[in-house]
């Protein structure tokens, strides 16, 4: 195989194909891809700050247009789910951004975490906004997100399960009672275990256990929602 065929494409060219927009500014691109561990000055932190705000505005506008009949509360849940670290880091991984990130494992004290991928994605959004403006950034972001209602179908199912339980219970006439019962607590420190049951209107709908009481409650709520909203 020739040297030419083995040559790695430039970040600008590779990311241009991924985003459908090629950044012309090498400086913006370099900063957007640089973790603070790899550079004390020219890193992605300021671009991430900007990109987070731009992304929030894009999501808010898109959801407002896509769901004209949804109330503010539901739109807030949708936006929070799409802007969550879990979703954005997973999206960045699917877009294969990781190989392009400048990261110093020794300086950071460990391997690159998933939160870095979220930060880089937001920084790239900020860089595109600075160079191309809001309208172009909106098209790029929505192109990366794809079918938003389809994304939300699976996202919201797992997002804020306790909030969904509360909304469901309050939608009943009269409203259903909600009770999280701690049925078992044992162990110490890292071996701590909580077992929680969720009772709605006097009937048990969920039961789960975890090393965190909050996580046990959320898991019980998620189980209840799977029964009530299959």
Name the catalytic one among 48, 118, 122, 197.
Answer: 122
Structure tokens at 121: 């994605």
C-alpha pair distances (Å), 188 with each of 211, 212, 213, 214 = 10, 12, 13, 16
Name the catalytic one among 52, 118, 119, 197.
Answer: 52
Contact 35, 43 (CB under 8 A): yes
Q: How far is CA 86 from the centre of its chain?
A: 4
Contacts of 194 (CB under 8 A, 6+ apart): 182, 184, 185, 209, 210, 211, 212, 213, 216
Concerning whether 122 is annotated as a catalytic residue, the answer is yes
Structure tokens at 179: 């009770």
Length of the chain: 230
Contact 207, 195 (CB under 8 A): yes
Concerning whether 48 is annotated as a catalytic residue, the answer is no
Structure tokens at 7: 């040559």
Which residue(s) pair with 206 in the sheet?
198
Q: Which of 15, 1, 88, 20 is nearest to 51 (CA)?
A: 88
Q: What is the set of active-site residues?
A: 52, 122
């Amino acid at each position: 195989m020739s040297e030419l065929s083995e040559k790695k494409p430039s970040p600008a060219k590779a990311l241009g194909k991924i985003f459908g927009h090629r950044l012309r500014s090498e400086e913006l691109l370099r900063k957007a891809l640089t973790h603070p561990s790899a550079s004390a000055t020219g890193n992605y932190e300021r671009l991430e700050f900007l990109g987070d705000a731009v992304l929030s505005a894009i999501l808010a506008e898109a959801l407002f247009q896509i769901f004209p009949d949804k109330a503010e509360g539901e739109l807030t849940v949708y936006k929070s789910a799409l802007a969550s670290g879990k979703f954005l880091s997973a999206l960045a991984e699917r877009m294969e951004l990781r190989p392009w990130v400048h990261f110093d494992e020794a300086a950071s004290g460990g391997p690159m975490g998933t939160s870095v991928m979220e930060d880089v994605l937001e920084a790239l959004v900020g860089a595109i906004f600075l160079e191309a403006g809001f309208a172009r950034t909106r098209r790029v972001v929505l192109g990366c997100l794809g079918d938003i209602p389809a994304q939300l179908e699976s996202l919201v199912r797992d997002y804020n399960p306790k909030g969904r339980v509360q909304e469901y219970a309050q939608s009943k006439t009269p409203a259903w009672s909600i009770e999280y019962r701690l049925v078992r607590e044992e162990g110490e420190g890292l071996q701590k275990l909580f077992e929680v049951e969720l009772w709605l209107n006097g009937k048990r709908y969920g039961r789960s256990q975890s090393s965190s009481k909050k996580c046990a409650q959320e898991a019980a709520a998620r189980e209840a929602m799977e029964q009530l909203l299959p």
